[in-house]
Amino acid sequence: MFEQFVLTASTADLSEEPRAREHADAVEFRMDLASDPLGQIDAYDGELPLLVTNRASWEGGEADDLGRFDALSTALGDEAVAAVDVELAALRGNAPEGERSHATALRDTAREEGVSVVVSVHDFESTPEPATLVDLLADAASEGDVGKLATTATGPRDALAMIEATHEATAAGHRVATMCMGEPGRHTRAVTPVYGSKIGYAPVDPANATAPGQYPLATLRELVDGLRDGDTGE
């Protein structure tokens, strides 16, 4: 699914999907923020494929028990689901007890179903040095199909570090998705795709942004396409 850049429209309400079609390539469905998420998936008849995320509370989401894995596993059986997000900390055993076995089982199920696995890392405090970022991306990419890294930028140096790490990780053969959260790093959401980032995230409704610093969907589509067309000389 992620051979090329994929712009996902993030939402907790799949009835918003028609509004996303003009600009998005897929929908990130935030199951942890949704009402009756499995019911929504079962009733979904939209055109865009789904990336399902059931973010753990210890990683900034609202899913607070291991039942989130059962819900994700059920979702994988739906033909509209093309990708699933799993936290790197869960796969590596750096999360609360019980997470690792559930996370690896979910990844195995995804592979059996032909569903891509996005392995994610979030840092809500800072942005490490580029070498550390590259190591995190390599670790995440090695555990799934795409390694996703979102850090918090407090100034231009942090944004530059993420751009550099994106370039280096991509040059090393890793498939990655990168961005900085927060206003100082907002532009990385448009710029890192030029350097190899494969996934962008933007809310269908700007009032319901799922991370700090997100652009409106139409804006991010225009920015990414404009920068990438310029980069390729098209």
Cross-strand pairs, 181: 152
- Selecting among 122, 167, 174, 187, the annotated active-site residue is 122
Active-site residue 122, yes or no?
yes
* Least reliable range by pLDDT among 26-30, 103-107, 119-123, 203-207: 203-207
- Selecting among 23, 102, 148, 174, the annotated active-site residue is 148
Indicate whether 229 pLDDT > 90: no
Q: Is domain 6-232 classified as CATH 3.20.20.70?
A: yes
Cross-strand pairs, 180: 151
**How far is it, in rounded angstroms, from Cα 31 to Cα 41?**
9
CB–CB of 36/13 below 8 Å? no
Domain boundaries, the chain: 6-232
Tokens of 58: 């210890």
Can you list the alpha helix ranges (DSSP code H) found in 99-215?
Answer: 99-113, 130-143, 156-171, 188-191
Active-site residue 102, yes or no?
no
Average pLDDT, the chain: 94
CB–CB of 31/75 below 8 Å? yes
Strand extents, DSSP E, the chain: 6-11, 26-30, 50-53, 81-87, 116-122, 146-152, 176-181, 199-203
The string of pLDDT tens digits covering residues 56-100 is 999 999 999 999 999 999 999 999 999 999 999 999 988 888 999
